[in-house]
Structure 1
């Protein structure tokens, strides 16, 4: 009978877990886009282990393979350099029937600039039918590496040497700041990336934002041809204001842009063909995930739909159910029998922990590329996994027992009990929370390229209060709910009461305060939009978006969730601090303070 109850509980919990995985991964239909191929995509054929930063470049064979892979879907490509092994692109593109917008990379390295420009001129003259236009320099003014006069010199040199139209590419607002550049080019190349705008736009308003910005440029420079040289949407990384990365979001955005371009006659280049993990060094996780294809050269979705946010959700759900069921089985076999309600609660907790942990592990591995990111991921997963197991073991002990005895207040530092579960639970709680606090303030003050640690925080922020709530149901009569929630005794087989404490829980007090401060600052700095971006733009004179562009209906949900998790996580720590104050208030007049010796 006990086995049958266990199997029934695991089955119901497993079905519930599968349903929770399915809900955010329901297929999203897309209207088939008009026309056939995409007109143009950005082409940077770097693979893992290759990067212009390390000067390890793709081979001719790899470039040929990449062009062959995208040729059925696109009519043309845009490159950003005429060196670094990409000199072979025009010849190979001709072989695959692709037109090329060839670029020359300009930077503060003047000798390299000359080599780039000379190579561009030579290629444009050698392949006049394949290279239909060229772009000299990409966001050089944005990076502040050259002056408008220096860029103008390179533009004039190229225009005098080739027959194809010549342009310079930069963020659309920088053309408004440096309007003199327009007379030096045959066509204006603007970058319109709603995700990176000072006031980010949601995917629902992405096409509207592009149309508005395009009109601003066309009205400022009437009669000048315009190329949208970059537009796209990331599939991984942190949210910025209303702009949240995702696979479905990218598919919807690209679908909208194709329709907008067809309706308005816009000339559009999509960024980009393949994910580029090396860019994470410059722009964080989000920088490496703008591709229509993964770094393994697999298409992410079909433009005709339907699209699923996590195509592997069935495998992940199955792993979560198997892992959660195994945890329940081990705990049930190693301790006293649980009532049906206790078994059900343990199964829900186990499946929930397994789901959160597997999702965090999947994102951590997928989003990390460089060794420092992989190391941080490993540390966070180790701490999160250890804490989750401690919470499950402590919950099993509570669910299997009766009323918990009372004991004096204990702290996480210096008085962590004598059992292994007490020690490990306290140390891991302290370490993980301290890391999350540090991460929170880094996001607030230097967060442009930092991910929110939402999935790492979910286990402690949800698990610790739930454990406290379970303990509250077993606390002695007449004790405060905080006695069951106090961080210092969450993993002990007893409930804290407001007596004179053994040690003032200063660590808990400061962690609780810092978590609340982090939550508040997160709401202010990231809740609606990243406030530092428009401030910098307005100070630099490059922010052309009006305040009315703020999408109040689409706040940064990821930031709000992260702030909420910090507030939840603060509860056990503030409960300890509150009990300490109650204990001091209840101390008889004239009694010695903890640790105080009186004659």
Structure 2
């Protein structure tokens, strides 16, 4: 027969499990999509194409693309678009694009990559001219330079010289243009005299004042009309526009699968209604771009880098968490484990059974850990780049699993508050229990990881992800444990906790305010640092018993 002492934790297990499932069910609901902008059989006007697959990068000296790889990509793209835009003429294998595009009935906007290196620039120009000369039926325009002014690598006069040279050497009927963010066209209006049409990039997500997804299409329309007023009578191509499906928020601009699907479809509808020339960025996700732009940079494609398949279906709802049932199951299992560890530790320790206050703290730990562990496991692969990124991701997962279980065990055994001294100075803490030392080590490791994430968001935030999925189980666990644990035995070494508390309080406040109140990811992450600060202050100032 069920004992009265077991009814409370069992009821809390059920309550927490129901809450975790309910939240995931809400998050996993498909987001309605606009009516498909494409009629049956209609294709996109043009898409940006780069052949890099996972593991390939332009930063690698030996990167090369086989004709078979490009042929497979263009075969897929020919089903959804009439045109591809490239960015380089000399990267190994790219010379095959025009011929293979012809095979699949595609036209090409041939890119010439212009940077600071004059030798490479010369090779690019010669390669682009050759592509146009040999494929005038396929190459409809040559784009001489991409965001060169934005990067500050050439002057407008230099670019005009390159345009004049290319125009003189390519067949009649093949246009030349230059591509850059719209603000740089506005600042260099004379450059329009050197092009057959103006190619502007309008990326609401990357604006200096980021534009939310729901406002991005209206913003694009306003900018396109503004550019039209600057260059009256000049044909204009929107050379890059789109939305990312993954990564950190910028103010109110949230990357997500549903936002990407909605924005792209609404952009296409606007371009058809206004008769805008449009190129969507981009065909396939480019994981290598994470080196330059963080997680967001690798997720602008509307086709997955690994499966090479569409991320969404035109006109159909899109779930931002399509595997929410599995994530909910993982969360419920982990939450139940937190309760089980607390109960087992309490029985092993003996003494008075845990009361409402202690079980409520365990429930808090279980809820936040169960809620976030599924999201953490999903985001770590996307947000981990290179050895350092995977080490951090692995540390987040490890601590997000160990800390909630350990804090639940500490509550179960009625362990007292630990300090960093237990982990860092064993000579000053003779006789401390082994469990307390282990918990203190987890605290120290968590502070190091939180500091690395927090101060990155303070001093170099533009491309840094908000690691709230991993931090939440850790911070919540220590906070609930600190709220119910009794004063610690050792009084030495409390200054480190106070100093860390002040630093995390400052970091949390700055992160939230710097990203504006529209950024819920920043508010969440900043709040975690503030909670961590108060937890550390509690550890440092709780009454001491010798």
* TM-score computed with the length of structure 2 as normaliser: 0.89
Of 8, 11, 32, the residue aligned with 1:29 is 32
Residues 339 and 412 (structure 1), Cα distance of their counterparts in 2 relative to 1, 3 Å cut = closer
Matched residue, 1:58: 65
Matched residue, 1:521: 510
Shift of 1:334: 5.9
Q: Does 1:261 align with 2:271?
A: yes
Describe how 1:489-528 pairs up with structure 2 within 5 A. 494-496=486-488, 502-503=491-492, 505-528=494-517
Alpha-carbon distance between aligned partners in 2 of 1:347 and 1:514, rounded to the nearest angstrom: 29
Matched residue, 1:376: 392
Aligned residues: 524
Q: 2:285, 2:304 within 8 Å by CA — same for their partners in 1?
A: yes
Alpha-carbon distance between aligned partners in 2 of 1:411 and 1:364, rounded to the nearest angstrom: 30
Shift of 1:16: 2.9
Alpha-carbon distance between aligned partners in 1 of 2:442 and 2:360, rounded to the nearest angstrom: 26
Of 139, 144, 153, the residue aligned with 2:147 is 139
Q: Deviations over 1:66-85 (max 9, x none)?
A: 11222222221111011211
Alpha-carbon distance between aligned partners in 2 of 1:145 and 1:302, rounded to the nearest angstrom: 40
Q: Does 1:566 align with 2:539?
A: no
Of 451, 456, 464, the residue aligned with 1:437 is 451
Residues 454 and 54 (structure 1), Cα distance of their counterparts in 2 relative to 1, 3 Å cut = same
Residues 440 and 343 (structure 1), Cα distance of their counterparts in 2 relative to 1, 3 Å cut = closer
Q: 2:362, 2:480 within 8 Å by CA — same for their partners in 1?
A: no
Shift of 1:109: 1.6
Shift of 1:333: 5.0
Other structure's SS at 2:200 match: strand
Describe how 1:283-302 pairs up with structure 2 within 5 A. 283-296=293-306, 297-302=308-313
Shift of 1:466: 2.0
Alpha-carbon distance between aligned partners in 2 of 1:234 and 1:519, rounded to the nearest angstrom: 26
Of 129, 138, 163, the residue aligned with 1:121 is 129
Q: 1:33, 1:258 within 8 Å by CA — same for their partners in 2?
A: no
Q: Deviations over 1:517-568 (max 9, x none)?
A: 112222332225xxxxxxxxxxxxxxxxxxxxxxxxxx11111111111111
Alpha-carbon distance between aligned partners in 2 of 1:347 and 1:240, rounded to the nearest angstrom: 33
Shift of 1:336: 2.1
Alpha-carbon distance between aligned partners in 2 of 1:369 and 1:302, rounded to the nearest angstrom: 29
Alpha-carbon distance between aligned partners in 2 of 1:188 and 1:410, rounded to the nearest angstrom: 64
Shift of 1:59: 1.4
Q: 1:274, 1:294 within 8 Å by CA — same for their partners in 2?
A: yes
Alpha-carbon distance between aligned partners in 1 of 2:59 and 2:506, rounded to the nearest angstrom: 38
Alpha-carbon distance between aligned partners in 1 of 2:257 and 2:106, rounded to the nearest angstrom: 27
Q: Does 1:48 align with 2:54?
A: yes
Q: Deviations over 1:418-470 (max 9, x none)?
A: 2233112212212212332343222222111111222222123322222233x
Q: Does 1:38 align with 2:44?
A: yes
Shift of 1:12: 5.2
Shift of 1:173: 0.2
Q: Unaligned regions of 5+ residues in structure 1, if any?
A: 399-403, 472-483, 485-493, 529-554, 585-593, 595-599
Matched residue, 1:237: 247
Matched residue, 1:557: 520
Matched residue, 1:544: none
Alpha-carbon distance between aligned partners in 2 of 1:7 and 1:520, rounded to the nearest angstrom: 38
Shift of 1:303: 2.5
Q: Does 1:91 align with 2:103?
A: no
Q: 1:81, 1:105 within 8 Å by CA — same for their partners in 2?
A: yes
Alpha-carbon distance between aligned partners in 1 of 2:123 and 2:145, rounded to the nearest angstrom: 13
* TM-score computed with the length of structure 1 as normaliser: 0.82
Residues 410 and 99 (structure 1), Cα distance of their counterparts in 2 relative to 1, 3 Å cut = closer
Alpha-carbon distance between aligned partners in 1 of 2:366 and 2:453, rounded to the nearest angstrom: 27
Shift of 1:131: 1.5
Alpha-carbon distance between aligned partners in 1 of 2:159 and 2:95, rounded to the nearest angstrom: 22
Other structure's SS at 2:509 match: helix
Alpha-carbon distance between aligned partners in 2 of 1:73 and 1:369, rounded to the nearest angstrom: 31
Alpha-carbon distance between aligned partners in 2 of 1:443 and 1:15, rounded to the nearest angstrom: 34
Q: 2:101, 2:108 within 8 Å by CA — same for their partners in 1?
A: yes
Describe how 1:425-464 pairs up with structure 2 within 5 A. 425-464=439-478
Shift of 1:121: 1.5
Matched residue, 1:546: none
Matched residue, 1:590: none
Q: Deviations over 1:373-401 (max 9, x none)?
A: 11221223223322222112123335xxx
Other structure's SS at 1:239 match: coil
Residues 260 and 439 (structure 1), Cα distance of their counterparts in 2 relative to 1, 3 Å cut = same
Shift of 1:23: 1.0
Matched residue, 1:531: none
Shift of 1:350: 3.2
Q: 1:410, 1:505 within 8 Å by CA — same for their partners in 2?
A: no
Residues 332 and 574 (structure 1), Cα distance of their counterparts in 2 relative to 1, 3 Å cut = closer
Structure 1, 330-339 or 267-276: larger mean CA deviation: 330-339
